[in-house]
Structure 1
Amino acid sequence: MTENISCQTTIPSEQLLIDLRDRPAPDMLRVIAIGSPQVVQFFVMTLFHYGYARPDEWSRQLPTVNPGEVMRILTKHVSLV
């Protein structure tokens, strides 16, 4: 028995993708926050409060496959010296 499984979304395809291709660097760090929009926003603001990253350094909220869940990505260059 075979089933046809389809995934339908109303989100435009260009909104689903974030281009992470860039020049690799040994000092590059990516932080991914995944959760409800409120939890992710709280986490972003907490890191801002501690001086780690400004909210505008993060990607926009991106949907995940789970309803009510989003993710945001932060790319930072960290000094290894």
Structure 2
Amino acid sequence: MMAQLLNFAQSQIAQFLRHNFHFPTPKQIPQQPFPFREPIKHLLIGSPKAVTSTIHYLQVIGYASVGDWSPLQPTGNPDEVMSILSRQISIQ
């Protein structure tokens, strides 16, 4: 049951990302000598299992490597942790 729920959630996340965000591939990014880059931070908050699962899923779809995320940190709420990913993205 839990595996089915996880698979459903992952498919919903993938569908949401596909329809709401465009992540250009390297071939689609125009080559500029000095592209403007801006910092962005992603914050995941949830149970250790949910946060870890999401981090692994984002690696599977090629968005971020597992090692790019901060170690899980407690939030102060029972059974809740957080992890952050900091990146520099190209702005056109």
TM-score class, shorter-chain normalisation, is 0.5 to 0.7
Q: Give SS of 1:76's match.
A: strand
Distance across 2 between alignment mates of 1:34 and 1:57: 16
Task: Give unpaired runs (5+ residues) of structure 1.
Answer: 1-24
Distance across 2 between alignment mates of 1:49 and 1:26: 25
Is 2:75 aligned against 1:64? Answer: yes
**Which ranges of 4 or more aligned residues in structure 1 deviate by more than 6 Å?**
none
Identical-pair percentage: 37
For normalisation by structure 1, the TM-score amounts to 0.66
- The aligned amino acid for 1:42 is S
Larger helix fraction of residues: 2
Task: Give unpaired runs (5+ residues) of structure 2.
Answer: 1-35
- The aligned amino acid for 1:70 is V
Cα RMSD after superposing both structures: 1.5
Partner of residue 32, structure 1: 43
Which residue, out of 71, 75, 81, partners 2:86? 75
For normalisation by structure 2, the TM-score amounts to 0.58
Q: How many residues align?
A: 57
Which aligned pairs between 1:4-23 and structure 2 lie closer than 5 A? Answer: none
